[in-house]
Structure 1
Amino acid sequence: MTRTSVGRFVSEEARTKYLAAYDRAMDLWPDPRRELDVETAYGTVRVHHYGSRTGEPIVLLHGHAGHASNWYPQIAALGEHHPVYAIDTLDDPGRSVQRVVAVGSEENAAWLGEVFAALGLERIHLAGLSYGGWLALNQAIHAPERLASVAALDPGGIEKVPARFYAHMIGGLLGLLAPRPLRARLGRLLANPALSSPPEMIAPLMLGMRSYKPNTRPAARPFTDEELSSIKLPALVLLGSRSALVRPRQVLERVSALIPGVRAEIVQRAGHGLNLEQPDLVNAHLLRFLAAHGQ
């Protein structure tokens, strides 16, 4: 669920190299983009902001070992009528700096709530992918006060992480060693969008895996039936039909049975990274959901 110790780069040289790659990856976002640093009891949180000066805010949470650039296909579409904020998770490599481990569900909701309060955000539409989806649902369960809705994309925490997910990760890493002309084909075969993503986005991921320790995080704790049933916000759950993390039909059935009024759908021809594999379709789902539940 969270790293058991504060994450650090193995050296200052490794940190400098990673952050240079990170900054190049953030150039995938449209301009103008603002960078904000928010102090919390758990560390300094980097937030990237883009979009309209009016409308209800959208906050985006990336997946394990990722960073804010992973949302680049969504930013222009979501930011046309909403201010968009993307957060660097505290215990992942990035420009957030962790000082204290957030232990358990309540503390993870606490640091995120501190960020929202410092930014002065209310009626937030919170969306997360994978581990970010776990964080989003966790916020809806434990600290929903500032939220207007929650969207979870192929989230952790709905069922136990299967062994095939770890095999999928290893296959993706091996695929990145293949000649570049073959990567797109392997990406389609493995339902792994990283293999055909811009190299600027992949570079910090690879550097972080080599130079940020500890470089693993325990699997997200599955939510209980009672926790999922306690979500009273409008909720959207999107699942990749070829996901390596979840069994989409089983997860669809569970969230539909437990989360009141949830809109749950399977995105066809998409794996775990559905926002990168089917960006136009995911953007359309998100925008329809926001239009239905905004003021």
Structure 2
Amino acid sequence: MTIWTELLGSQTHVLGEKHRTRVIESGDGEALVLLHGVGGHAEAYSRNVNRLGRHYRAMAMDLLWHGFSGTPEFTHEAVGTYVEQVLDLLDSQGIERAHVEGESLGGWVALTLALEHPDRVGKLVLNTTAGIKWAPGSVNERPAEGREALRARSLAAIENPTAETIRTRLEWLMATPDRVTDELVEVRRRIYAEPATNAALRTVFENSFGFGSGPNRRISEERLTSVSVPTLVLWSDHNPGSGPDVGRRIAKLIPGAAFHCVADAAHWPQWEQPEEHDRVVLDFLGRAE
């Protein structure tokens, strides 16, 4: 299956009032917003949108400075700006409350949204989420395998967006390199080669991964106990830099949170094991597939 055939029947729109937000969506009913990770784009959920759209209005969006969404002047409160972007999207569509899934950076944004605007979130799915500030010794993080490796590959890909550098960056996301398709490489290469997006993402990468302004918005582990919306922590057995023990720790701290570990997946379980991802998410949301 290609990205194109997976997305047949979905629609692509540019929505929002204050911000220009590209959205790939399918279905109707309750809204389910899908947020990609740093350097990503809506196609991260290309294998999920239509199946999730059988039960919800599934909306995979490009975050600002990513994909084909707007590229305003960069703000050093980027996570807060992403939260504003999600709210702007909801407001533009008259959506009072939405379920939200966020992967990696998207999880950081979704978690911040749930903490600061719980009235706008139905249920929350944290997919290999980033952005938590752990107390020393609290969890076993491996920065050299995680954010440091991703930072190096991300900067190489944005500085010289060739098929080789893009593939190397995408392979970090997968449990096995063969899951990076030629089509996915070419989609991301073309996005990274867009001058405005390239310049914007360079700034995003320089202010992420524990450098620049990135740490300013990290969420202390103590704040996890304040999450008041139903939450699913979705992890994987090969997530680089932070294994299932980290996901279990998050689920333990968030009151009443559920936990699920996807086997044979790394940082993109929604792409690597889409059927399991969608089944677990739909079951959590209350619409079993």
TM-score (norm 1): 0.76
Q: 2:281 aligns with which of 266, 283, 286?
A: 286
By how many angstroms is 1:195 displaced?
Answer: 4.5
Residue 231 and residue 292 in structure 1: after superposition, are their counterparts in 2 closer, same or farther (change >3 A)? farther
Question: What aligned pairs does 1:112-261 form with structure 2 within 5 A after superposition?
Answer: 112-158=86-132, 159=134, 162-165=143-146, 166-167=148-149, 177=164, 191-192=174-175, 195-209=178-192, 212-213=198-199, 214-215=201-202, 216=205, 217-219=207-209, 221=215, 222-253=218-249, 255-261=250-256
Which residues of structure 2 form unaligned runs of 5+?
135-140, 158-162
Residue 202 and residue 190 in structure 1: after superposition, are their counterparts in 2 closer, same or farther (change >3 A)? closer
Q: Is the 8 A contact 2:225 2:254 kept in 1?
A: yes
Q: 1:145 and 1:106 mapped to 2: Cα distance?
A: 17
Residue 225 and residue 292 in structure 1: after superposition, are their counterparts in 2 closer, same or farther (change >3 A)? farther
Residue 284 and residue 32 in structure 1: after superposition, are their counterparts in 2 closer, same or farther (change >3 A)? closer
Residue 141 and residue 161 in structure 1: after superposition, are their counterparts in 2 closer, same or farther (change >3 A)? farther
Q: Is the 8 A contact 1:109 1:142 kept in 2?
A: no
By how many angstroms is 1:279 displaced?
Answer: 1.0
By how many angstroms is 1:171 displaced?
Answer: 7.4
Q: 2:83 and 2:153 mapped to 1: Cα distance?
A: 33
Q: Which residue of structure 2 aligns with residue 60 of structure 1?
A: 34
Which residues of structure 1 form unaligned runs of 5+?
1-23
CA RMSD of aligned residues (A): 3.3
Q: 2:54 and 2:102 mapped to 1: Cα distance?
A: 19
Question: What aligned pairs does 1:13-92 form with structure 2 within 5 A after superposition?
Answer: 28-40=6-18, 43-51=19-27, 53=28, 55-92=29-66
Q: Is the 8 A contact 2:14 2:20 kept in 1?
A: no
Higher RCO by CA contacts (8 Å cutoff, separation 6 or greater):
1
The percent identity for this pair of structures is: 26
Q: Is the 8 A contact 1:30 1:75 kept in 2?
A: no
Q: 2:268 aligns with which of 267, 270, 273?
A: 273
